[in-house]
C-alpha cells in the first residue's frame, strides 16, 4: 500500500470489477503496470493493479496479458479521468 504521506508522486488506481466486493474491504492487489501521466499539470504515476485473488485476473502479471477490450476500458477510464 502506498500512502500519500510516503510518496506524493504515486497514486494507486485499482481497476477491477466491483461486483461482490464490499466497500472498505481489503484486497490483495498485484501490480501489472506503471503508467506515467500528467494530472493537472503535475507528473505522477498510476499503478495498474489486479485483485491477486481473483479467479479471472489473479494470474495476470503484465498489462499486455489483458484482453483488448479490457485495455480499451482502462484507456477510456484514464482519458475521462
Cell matching residue 21: 466486493
Q: What is the pLDDT along the chain (81 residues), one digit of tens a residue?
A: 444 443 433 334 444 444 567 778 888 899 999 988 888 888 988 899 999 998 999 999 999 999 999 999 988 988 887
Tell me what pLDDT residue 22 has: 75
Helix (H) or strand (E) holding 36: strand 29-39
**Residue 71 within a domain:** yes
Q: How many folded domains does the chain comprise?
A: 1
CA 65 to the chain's CA centroid: 14
**Residue 36 within a domain:** yes
| Domain that residue 49 falls in | 10-80
Dist CA 42 CA 66 (whole Å): 28
Tell me what pLDDT residue 14 has: 43
Tell me what pLDDT residue 40 has: 84
> What Cα–Cα distance (Å) separates residue 31 from each residue in 35, 40, 42?
11, 24, 22
Tell me what pLDDT residue 20 has: 66
Helix (H) or strand (E) holding 34: strand 29-39
**CATH number of the structural domain spanning residue 35:** 3.90.80.10
Q: What is the pTM of this model?
A: 0.66
**Residue 1 within a domain:** no
Amino acid at each position: 500500500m502506498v500512502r500519500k504521506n510516503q510518496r506524493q508522486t504515486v497514486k494507486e488506481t485499482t481497476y477491477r470489477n466491483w461486483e461482490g466486493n464490499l466497500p472498505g474491504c481489503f484486497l490483495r492487489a498485484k501490480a501489472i503496470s506503471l503508467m506515467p501521466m500528467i494530472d493537472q499539470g503535475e507528473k505522477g504515476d498510476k499503478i495498474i493493479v489486479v485483485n491477486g485473488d481473483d479467479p479471472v485476473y489473479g494470474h495476470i502479471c503484465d498489462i499486455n496479458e489483458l484482453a483488448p477490450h479490457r485495455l480499451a476500458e482502462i484507456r477510456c477510464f484514464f482519458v475521462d479521468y
